[in-house]
Structure 1
Amino acid sequence: MTIICRKALPEDVEALYELIQGYAAKGIMLPRSHEALSRNIATFIVAQDGDRLIGCGSLCRLGSDLVEIRSLGIVDGYKGQGIGSKLVDALIAEAKLQGIPKVMALTYEAAFFQKNGFKIVDKEIFPEKVWTDCVNCAKQHCCDEIAVVKIIEPVPENEQLSFAQI
């Protein structure tokens, strides 16, 4: 099994949709429409085993110094093999390339993110998130997700890093 992480392509939309819908049906991820996935395809990184898309995650910019990891999921049968950590590493590398020092997530899997260097924090320290997404969420007043954050060092201006180096 050779797993690669790469930037998502327009032809990945259907597989992304099916993966995300599986999580959304369980109430643990927000659903994304085909149109939203197509519009935001450049924000996604996927994990692939051969020709099969087996995982995904995206970055959503919330401010000049903050991005959120969203839609992080792995196909059943591939969980527990380090693929989620590979995706998180690739997403953090992408944030680094963009010069964004803070990466956050809202999650039900805080231990996974802690294992990947994130710290649990109070959701209220992210007004960018609260006013863009949470304000429209049905769980706004009874949110059971845990906020996590990781502070990263941006790539120095005199050093170039390519996505292939991840």
Structure 2
Amino acid sequence: MQAVCRKATADDVEILVELIADYAAKGIMLPRSREVLLRQIDTFVVAEVEGTVVGCGSLCRLGTDLVEVRSLGISEGYKGFGIGSKLIDFLLGEAREQRIPKVMALTYEARFFQKNGFTVVDKEIFPEKVWTDCVNCPKQHACDEIAVLKTLN
């Protein structure tokens, strides 16, 4: 299965809403509204298979030297084909282009990120994340996500 990654456009917003809503309904991703997605579309990338969007991810700048991988998801039926790793590679390329040396994520899939060169770290080393997002999260005081970090060279 050949997937191609590209930067997202406003035409992708509806499929992004659906993809993210599926994960949000399972409690493993924060929901994103159409309005937010439109405002942040330049931070998103998508993966296509034969012209159909089957995956997405985004980068959120948390500081001068740190970005977060967010909203990383793959449509059912397309998991296990390396599409998530292709999205990560594309996002890491974006971080390199922006000259941002550290890429982090909060995840339930630490093994996936480790397979892609990330290391499990203590969440508390990211005060930027805590004050921008965690402060509004319903799981704030009982967070069960795992923090991962990759330093780019």
The correspondence of residues 72-91 of structure 1 with structure 2, limited to 5 A, is 72-91=72-91
- CA deviation profile, 1:59-92 (whole Å, cap 9, x unmatched): 0000000000000000000100000000000000
SS of match in other structure, 2:141: coil
Counterpart of 2:125 in structure 1 is 125
Give distance in 2, aligned partners of 1:18 and 1:7. 18
Counterpart of 1:108 in structure 2 is 108
Q: Are residue 44 (structure 1) and residue 44 (structure 2) matched?
A: yes
The correspondence of residues 12-161 of structure 1 with structure 2, limited to 5 A, is 12-153=12-153
- CA deviation profile, 1:89-148 (whole Å, cap 9, x unmatched): 000000000000000000000000000000000000000000000011111110000000
Counterpart of 2:9 in structure 1 is 9
Give distance in 1, aligned partners of 2:146 and 2:87. 19
- Give the C-alpha shift of residue 50 in structure 1: 1.7
- Give the C-alpha shift of residue 28 in structure 1: 0.5
Runs (4+) of structure 1 exceeding 3 A deviation are none
Give distance in 2, aligned partners of 1:51 and 1:61. 29
Contiguous gaps of at least 5 residues in structure 1: 154-166
* AA of the residue aligned to 1:84: G
Normalised by the length of structure 1, the TM-score is: 0.91
Give distance in 1, aligned partners of 2:137 and 2:45. 25
Q: How many residues align?
A: 153
Give distance in 2, aligned partners of 1:27 and 1:140. 13
Query: What percentage of aligned pairs have identical amino acids?
Result: 71
- Give the C-alpha shift of residue 51 in structure 1: 2.1
SS of match in other structure, 1:77: coil
Normalised by the length of structure 2, the TM-score is: 0.99
- Give the C-alpha shift of residue 3 in structure 1: 1.2
Contiguous gaps of at least 5 residues in structure 2: none
